[in-house]
Amino acid sequence: MRAVLVVLGLAGCAELGVISDGTSISVGKASHGYLIDGARLPDQGEGFTTREVWQRRNNRYGTDELIDLVTGVARRMATHVHDVKIVVGDLSGLGGGGAFAFHRSHQSGRDADFVYYMRDADGKPFEPDAMHVFDGKGRARDQTGLTVDVPRTWLLVKELVAAPEAPVQYVFMYEPIAQMLLEHAAKIGEPDAVIAAVRKALKQPGDSARHDDHMHVRIYCSDADKDYGCVDYGPMEMLAQRQAQTEATFALVSGAVSRPAENRSAFDVGSPPLTSTSTPTPQAPLRSLLRTGADRIDLRGWR
Ligand SMILES: [Zn+2]
């Protein structure tokens, strides 16, 4: 997203004859592309961790925007969820490309896998040890008794879709789990506009990649990277909507993410009051709107 210098006639560090200023460039499609000067996601950080299997593969590289998104969302989730961390699986390999047998996409630094939030057989929060395959009711198929933690996973996808760090195009997810999240959101009185925005991002790619054991986040190309060959594939709706948002409206939706409303306990059982210092502060006129209840405001731009 930052400035990139084009140096004609010089041997640049990249195939395009481009010398970047040290920031990343995502080239091509997520399913056919590569990554220049990608950033590496640390194995541990505030609110997130990974497991040895993914550490060993070292598919931990992404664009600057993707790394900012993962670390930013994890940091904000840590203000809601205190007892477990988000477990982050594969991103892209160093330099991207398709040399890794594990994924068809994940090539251009704009994809990241998240393990679902889980509960153990006793219903207690459980920091995932690995991916587990879930059935249509969110129960692990491997007899461990694990279940998808629906309230927390809802909060995570909502954070992703509203995150200021990068516009999310997709959150690939098993459709029955997506349905459980959306039903939960309606039940706790989330604003229609927020539910509609998340609904657009949630997608099950197909039966061959059902994403019943993890969710997979893809971000759009940054404007700067598009000039250097980054290619978005699929609906551009989420990006267009993001760009159409006024700053104030976006702040309103972000505010809804951290709204310390009556639903707090559903997200944060047994934890101190939910607070967020990293959410943009709504403009003054919007504060009074918020006090009237964000769920009664029709945000057409998000539909
Ligand atoms: Zn994936």
Per residue in 24-63, pLDDT (tens digit) is 999 999 999 999 999 999 999 999 999 999 999 999 999 9
pLDDT band at 280 (very low <50, low <70, confident <90, very high): very low
In the reported structure, the alpha carbon of residue 90 is separated from the centroid of ligand 1 by a whole-number distance in angstroms of 7
Residue 261, pLDDT above cutoff 50? no
In the reported structure, the alpha carbon of residue 8 is separated from the centroid of ligand 1 by a whole-number distance in angstroms of 37
| Residue among 295, 219, 201, 283 nearest 246 (CA) | 283
User: Whole-number mean pLDDT of the chain?
Assistant: 80
Mean per-residue pLDDT for 124-135?
97
| 216 φ/ψ angles, rounded to the nearest 5 degrees | -130, 120
- Cβ 39 vs Cβ 94: under 8 Å: no
- Cβ 193 vs Cβ 303: under 8 Å: yes
Please tell me the distance from the alpha carbon of residue 171 to that of residue 208, in angstroms, as a whole number.
Answer: 16
| Residue among 282, 278, 254, 260 nearest 78 (CA) | 278
Please tell me the distance from the alpha carbon of residue 51 to that of residue 147, in angstroms, as a whole number.
Answer: 19
Our CA angle for 63, 29, 103, nearest 5°, is 80
Predicted local distance difference test score (pLDDT) of residue 143 = 95
DSSP class per residue in 72-103: HHHHHHHHH--S-PEEB---B-TT-SS--TT-
Mean per-residue pLDDT for 217-227?
95
pTM: 0.76
Model confidence over 54-98: pLDDT tens digits?
Answer: 999 999 999 999 999 999 999 999 999 999 999 999 999 999 998
- In 166-246, which ranges are continuous DSSP H helix? 175-187, 192-201, 223-226, 237-244
Q: Hey, is 188 helix, strand or coil?
A: coil
Q: Hey, is 111 helix, strand or coil?
A: strand
Mean per-residue pLDDT for 137-150?
98
In the reported structure, the alpha carbon of residue 211 is separated from the centroid of ligand 1 by a whole-number distance in angstroms of 8
| Residue among 236, 163, 157, 166 nearest 198 (CA) | 157
In the reported structure, the alpha carbon of residue 9 is separated from the centroid of ligand 1 by a whole-number distance in angstroms of 39
The 8-class DSSP code of residue 15 comes to: T
Predicted local distance difference test score (pLDDT) of residue 248 = 56
Domain of residue 259, CATH code: 3.30.1380.10
Q: Which domain holds residue 82?
A: 4-302
Predicted local distance difference test score (pLDDT) of residue 274 = 36
Please tell me the distance from the alpha carbon of residue 81 to that of residue 149, in angstroms, as a whole number.
Answer: 12
In the reported structure, the alpha carbon of residue 112 is separated from the centroid of ligand 1 by a whole-number distance in angstroms of 6
CA dist 167 → 65, 71, 72, 209 (Å): 9, 15, 13, 23
Predicted local distance difference test score (pLDDT) of residue 260 = 44
Q: Hey, is 227 helix, strand or coil?
A: coil
Other C-beta atoms closer than 10 Å to the C-beta of 8 total 6
Q: How many domains does the chain have?
A: 1
Predicted local distance difference test score (pLDDT) of residue 254 = 66
- Cβ 222 vs Cβ 38: under 8 Å: no
Please tell me the distance from the alpha carbon of residue 85 to that of residue 98, in angstroms, as a whole number.
Answer: 29
Predicted local distance difference test score (pLDDT) of residue 104 = 81
| Residue among 255, 165, 156, 181 nearest 219 (CA) | 165
In the reported structure, the alpha carbon of residue 106 is separated from the centroid of ligand 1 by a whole-number distance in angstroms of 7
In the reported structure, the alpha carbon of residue 215 is separated from the centroid of ligand 1 by a whole-number distance in angstroms of 7
Residue 244, pLDDT above cutoff 90? no
In the reported structure, the alpha carbon of residue 202 is separated from the centroid of ligand 1 by a whole-number distance in angstroms of 13
Q: Which residue has the tokens 């460039």?
A: 25
